[in-house]
């Protein structure tokens, strides 16, 4: 085995990926090791974990999928493209992609996280897939990251094209995320209603327990709820670490 020295000044073992039957197109082994390191393994040195790469990979992956859908479906409007992208980059899909890519067996976890089933946890696997995409982007550029992501997302992209995987709405996507991350079901409440009977405007807020995660406005309760869920998806993505601490 080859020994590497990574950011938190502790010698770690790095797997021979070829023996594991896994191909990661990352030449920099230190970068590859970091992408596979969950924060539980870093003994408090969070900068040594894959969280920063996850943030970068999330942005790169969003661009990759958006570009693919834009080129593949020229007749779709912005709303259709946005919902389709959200359907592909959601945690459950990225979890499956990580398993197909062989990432689960390579993750670096603490003994307690390992014992609690962290190697199969959708949030950890989906985050690791994003981190790998981010590392590939830094190491080999956009095209290599794009090829890798689309290769392992191909079953879902094919299912989307055939209609076997319907485009999900924002409410479904939000519930899937909050259940996977914190085992919380969002609740919706109409907080304002105005206008005439034939021209009403509804304002809805969505809450995670007692926390207001988003608000939406629309000509119907359903549309206002969808808009609130869309805002909540952005909020939860941007504030993931703080919300992890809040909801424990």
pLDDT tens digits, 56-77: 999 999 999 999 999 999 999 8
pLDDT for 46 equals 65
b/e per residue 237-247 (b: at least 16 CB within 10 A):
eeebeebeeee
pLDDT at 15: 42
153 shares a domain with 241: no
Identify the band that residue 34 occupies on the pLDDT scale cut at 50, 70 and 90: very high
27, pLDDT greater than 60: yes
Same domain, 49 and 156: yes
Average pLDDT of the chain is 86
Same domain, 188 and 158: no
Shared-domain flag, residues 115 and 230: no
Q: What is the pLDDT of residues 200-215, one digit of tens each?
A: 899 999 999 999 999 9
User: Can you give the pLDDT at residue 60?
Assistant: 97
Q: How confident is the model at residue 218 (pLDDT cuts 50, 70, 90)?
A: confident
In this prediction, residues 160-171 reach a mean pLDDT of 82
Cα dihedral 95/92/168/230 (nearest 10):
-90
Q: Please say which residue of 136, 162, 188 terminates a domain.
A: 162
Per DSSP, the three-state class of 197 is coil
- Residues 129 and 5: their CA atoms lie apart, in Å, by 22
d(CA 205, CA 224) in angstroms, rounded, equals 8
User: Is there a single domain that holds both residue 144 and residue 174?
Assistant: no
pLDDT of residue 198 exceeding 60, the answer is yes
Residue 58 designated active-site: yes
User: pLDDT tier at 14 (50, 70, 90 boundaries)?
Assistant: very low
Give yes or no: residues 125 and 243 share one domain. no
Residue 16 has pLDDT above 70, yes or no: no
Asked whether residue 23 falls in the same domain as residue 89, the answer is yes
Q: What is the pLDDT of residue 18?
A: 45
Which of these three, 162, 194, 226, is where a domain ends? Answer: 162
Three-state DSSP state, 176: helix
Q: Are residues 200 and 98 in the same domain?
A: no
Given 58, 113, 127, 156, the catalytic residue: 58
From the list 51, 54, 113, 130, the catalytic residue is: 130
Domain count for the chain: 2
Range of the structural domain that residue 27 is part of: 2-162
Query: Percent of the chain scored above 70 by pLDDT?
Result: 90
CATH number of the structural domain spanning residue 191? 3.30.160.20
User: For residue range 111-164, what is the model confidence (pLDDT) as tens digits?
Assistant: 998 898 889 888 899 999 999 999 999 999 999 999 999 999 999 999 999 888
pTM metric for this prediction? 0.70
Catalytic residue status for 139:
no
**What percentage of residues in the chain have a pLDDT greater than 90?**
56
pLDDT band at 8 (very low <50, low <70, confident <90, very high): very low
Boundary (domain end) residue, out of 102, 130, 162: 162
According to the model, what pLDDT value does residue 241 have?
87
What residues have CB less than 8 Å from 161, skipping those under 6 apart? 72
**Same-domain check for residues 119 and 232:** no
pLDDT at 177 over 50: yes
52, 73: one domain: yes
CATH number of domain containing 38: 1.10.1520.10
Same domain? 151 vs 187: no
Are 29 and 139 in a shared domain? yes
pLDDT > 60? residue 42:
yes
């Amino acid at each position: 085995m080859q020994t590497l020295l990574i950011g938190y000044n502790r010698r770690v073992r790095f797997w021979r990926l070829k023996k594991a039957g896994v191909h990661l197109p990352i030449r920099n082994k230190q970068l590859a090791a970091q992408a596979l390191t969950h924060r539980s393994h870093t003994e408090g040195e969070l900068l040594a974990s894959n969280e920063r790469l996850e943030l970068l990979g999330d942005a790169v992956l969003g661009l990759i999928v958006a570009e693919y859908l834009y080129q593949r479906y020229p007749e779709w409007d912005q709303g259709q493209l946005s919902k389709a992208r959200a359907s592909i980059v959601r945690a459950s899909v990225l979890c499956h992609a990580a398993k197909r890519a062989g990432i689960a067996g390579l993750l670096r976890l603490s003994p307690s996280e390992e014992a609690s089933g962290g190697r199969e946890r959708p949030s950890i696997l989906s985050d690791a897939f994003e981190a790998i995409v981010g590392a590939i982007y830094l190491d080999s550029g956009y095209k290599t990251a794009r090829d890798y992501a689309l290769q392992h997302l191909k079953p879902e992209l094919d299912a989307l094209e055939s209609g076997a995987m319907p485009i999900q709405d924002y409410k479904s996507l939000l519930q899937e995320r909050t259940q996977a991350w914190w085992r919380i079901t969002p609740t919706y409440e109409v907080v304002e209603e105005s206008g005439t009977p034939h021209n009403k405007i509804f304002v809805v807020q969505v809450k995670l327990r007692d926390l207001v995660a988003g608000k939406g406005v629309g000509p119907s309760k359903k549309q206002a709820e969808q808009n609130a869920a869309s805002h909540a998806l952005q909020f939860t993505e941007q504030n993931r670490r703080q919300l992890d601490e809040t909801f424990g």
